[in-house]
Amino acid sequence: MVAATRLLRLAAAATAWALVGCATPETFSVREDFGPGFDAKKFLTPLPNKNTSVRDGVMWTRGSSGGKYPPMVYLALAGKDLTLSFRYRHLENGGMLWLFVDGDDGYGSVDHMLRVRLNRDSVVLEVDAHTLDPKHPLRQNTREADPVSKAYRTNEHFPSEKVDLSANAWRTVRLAFKGDSVDMSVDGQWARTLRRPNFDAPKRKLLWMQNGGAAGIEIDDVVVHPTP
């Protein structure tokens, strides 16, 4: 089982590097407006699929995945100091958009690094770091050690921050990583800067987990570039 998992992770990493093509971590960039020139190959998630498609110049995700988690879309990343931005809007009341940034865990594997959950009335942050100490006080006890790196995931949960995101309007999300810090913002309504040692590592994937109901969530103007 460990060998099979290792092969799957290596295959995923190879796929990600193939998708980013000749770009280096210093030159990697994405600019996707989901227009006539839309290139699905830059996404790790096959598009279109039963939940996600491109229509009217936006990426539209709706409905249930039928599994444990809401529908997800992955974008390949490459680079340590990256600025990520995109616009999104809900098409019905309720739901949430959960943003994950995955990167090197510091021990030879790739896992979650930062989570930003955009509820309709709040923003909730979670930092995922890693340790070789099975008794670390922040260890995620429901998760075994990574089969490749042997590291345990730790979870640092932050209090919910009240933000009114209830309107079904377009909003711009921005995350700018530089060294061990990240500057985050949602429009002009919320902003936060965090410093954590695990941020100072290569980023590998951006994940949108979307609970938008039957009407769904639209995403547009995805931009990734090296942070100056």
Q: Which two tokens stand for residue 213?
A: 């109901």
Torsion angle, alpha carbons of 173, 178, 179, 181, to 10: -40
pLDDT > 70 fraction of the chain, expressed in percent and rounded:
90
Backbone angles phi, psi at 27, to 5 degrees: -120, -5
pLDDT at 21: 52
Residue 10: is its pLDDT beyond 90? Answer: no
Angle at 156 between CA 100 and CA 10, to 5 degrees: 45
pTM: 0.90
**Cα(124)–Cα(219) distance, integer angstroms:** 20
Give how far the C-alpha of residue 118 lies from the chain's centroid of Cα atoms, to the nearest Å: 12
Q: How far apart are CA 106 and CA 151, in angstroms?
A: 9
**What are the tokens at 182?**
């990240």
Query: What mean pLDDT comes out for the span 189-202?
Result: 98
**pLDDT for 5 beyond 50:** no
Which superfamily does 2-226 belong to? Exo-inulinase; domain 1 (2.60.120.560)
The Cα-based distances of 175 to 41, 184, 224 in angstroms read 23, 5, 10
pLDDT band at 6 (very low <50, low <70, confident <90, very high): very low
What are the tens digits of pLDDT across the range 54-66?
Answer: 999 999 999 999 9
CA 8 to chain centre: 20
Q: Quote the pLDDT of residue 24.
A: 72
pLDDT of residue 23: 65
Domains of the chain, residue spans: 2-226
Token reading at 49: 């699929």
Report the C-alpha gap between 220 and 208 in whole angstroms: 12
